A = this chain, B = another copy of it.
Amino acid sequence: MFRSILIANRGEIAVRVIRACRELGIESIAVYSDADDRALHVALADRAVRIGPAPAAQSYLSGEAILQAARETGAEAIHPGYGFLAESHAFAASCAGAGLAFIGPPSGVIARMGSKTAARALAEQAGVPVVPGATPSDQRDETIAAAACRLGFPVVVKPSEGGGGIGMKTVPEEASLLPAIAQARREAAAAFGDGTLYVERLIDRPRHVEIQVVGDHHGRIVHLFERECSLQRRHQKIVEEAPSPAVTPALRARMGGAAVALARAAGYRNCGTVEFLLDGSGDEARFYFLEMNTRLQVEHPVTEQTTGVDLVRTQIVVAAGGPLPWTQDELRQRGHAIEVRVYAEDPERHDLPQAGPLLLYREPSMPGVRVDGGVAEGGDVSVHYDPLVAKLIAWGDTRDLARRRALAALRSYPILGVRTNGPFLIALLEHPRFIAGQLDTGLVEAERPVLLAGLAGAPPPEAVAVARHASVDAAAHDPNGPAVIDPWTLLRGWRG
């Protein structure tokens, strides 16, 4: 086992990995930019090394700075978390070159699965269904249009490389095809410097269901069942759950088998996730390979809470050469877990990311509820990085209990000083379609007006009374001193 691990990340995932290290008796080494010198992950690690100024390109995205920190501290392994360098095959290769264990799949696997085209080809080869589609080698508008017509409408035209929904066009019928192709090419070229387009059949209102896989150095690969991540806003997941309300045991076995087959074909090691689009539900549903994420997912806790497996610990054990401790048959799902992502963002203003001081921040603590947080009261949400504040995961023996627990926890989770999507998440968990488990990737956008309506309205008189009371009496009555503090003293990194 490693004596020390450097965590090349920040926020909640760095905190999560530090905790796994502590439980294993491994020294944890945090890295931080100037914006994070008082961040929670820095406070919790056994050691901490500054790696550069606030911009990620010069700190958390700088492989060189991170390898230098690893050399200085004698780290034996690097955990990349998710985001930043987690899917950089070049960084994984540099780690190997520097004699450090990269806690993730081999560099070559990251490179191959990182290419949509190569990953799709591999999936087809492994017998895993893919969404019918093509990247015509002849990229003239007419050839692309012809390929689209062969697939059947509606189709999606999108940049061959890139992501985030940029340049993606949905085309309902042939008439609007050529203008869409032209616009997609312009946007692709502008955004990614590459106008190559890809057309695929549109799966209407699909579910997003993914399978967690993990492989060791000894040839064993297992899956840890599915997660449903259909609730997304602007192509980013905000609520995930396991099991999926749409997946039956037979479908689960088929999807799990497909994911393992692909992982095996890829020579996969460590944790990874095979994402599928799911069309329909139940035994007859069809699933299509979407992409493989060669890293830990943000939503890994719902798998942990339902399988009893610690995925971060498993990543470390496997990277150190240890065997997976369980066979496929020994793994079981129990109960239901729901994760909500608490973001510093304003749902009433187009989900605009928010930054600011955490004047008051109290994580709920109750049975069946886990909070993977990356901040502390008195800290701040920086403008420099992803606005994820924390993930709240609720487990229950039934989906409805998990949902109620998540709601109770969100209602006991005050975050003051920076606007979050907490109230929006409450509205979402109370929406009839969520309660019924009728999810698809378009739900959040389709129901946004309804969800926002619940947030409108003037403060109730009780809230105004609390505000007034805090003003007059807090300093005098509160034995622990006033909660009324000047937020502007905290505005390090505040925009304006």
Contact = CB atoms under 8 A, between A and B. Distances in A.
Interface of A: 16, 19, 22-25, 44, 301, 304, 308-310, 313, 325, 332, 334-335, 357, 363, 365-368, 370-373, 377-378, 396-397, 401, 404-405, 408, 412, 478-482, 485, 489-490
B377 A480 contact: yes
Contacts of A357: 479
Contacts of A309: 397
A128 to B, nearest CB: 30
Contact of A485 (B310, B397, B479): B479
B19 A367 contact: yes
Given A24-B404, A401-B23, A404-B25, A304 B479 contact: no
B310 A334 contact: no
Given A481-B481, A481-B485, A405 B365 contact: no
B365 A397 contact: no
A68 B78 CA distance: 62
Contacts of A370: 365, 367
A365 B366 contact: no
A19 B485 contact: no
Contact of A304 (B365, B367, B378): B367
A410 B372 CA distance: 18
Contacts of A325: 397
Nearest to A305: B367
Given A23-B404, A408-B22, A490 B485 contact: no
The 8 A-B residue pairs with the shortest CB-CB distance in the complex, in nearest-first order: A378-B480, A23-B404, A22-B408, A19-B366, A481-B481, A308-B334, A479-B490, A308-B335
A471 to B, nearest CB: 16
A25 B334 CA distance: 23
A377 B490 CA distance: 23
A44 B365 CA distance: 12
Contacts of A490: 479
A451 to B, nearest CB: 21
A24 B368 CA distance: 14
A313 B126 CA distance: 46
Contacts of A479: 357, 378, 485, 489-490
A408 B44 CA distance: 11
B480 A368 contact: no
A51 B225 CA distance: 51
Q: Which of A335, A408, A480 has the most CB of B within 10 A?
A: A480
Nearest to A377: B480
B367 A301 contact: yes
Contacts of A44: 412
Q: Of residues A24, A25, A309, A310, which shows the largest number of chain B Cβ atoms within 10 Å of its Cβ?
A: A310
A308 B489 CA distance: 46
A403 to B, nearest CB: 10
A485 B485 CA distance: 16
A367 B16 contact: yes
B485 A23 contact: no
Given A24-B404, A365-B365, A404-B23, A485 B480 contact: yes
B377 A372 contact: no
A413 B320 CA distance: 30
Nearest to A311: B367
B408 A368 contact: no
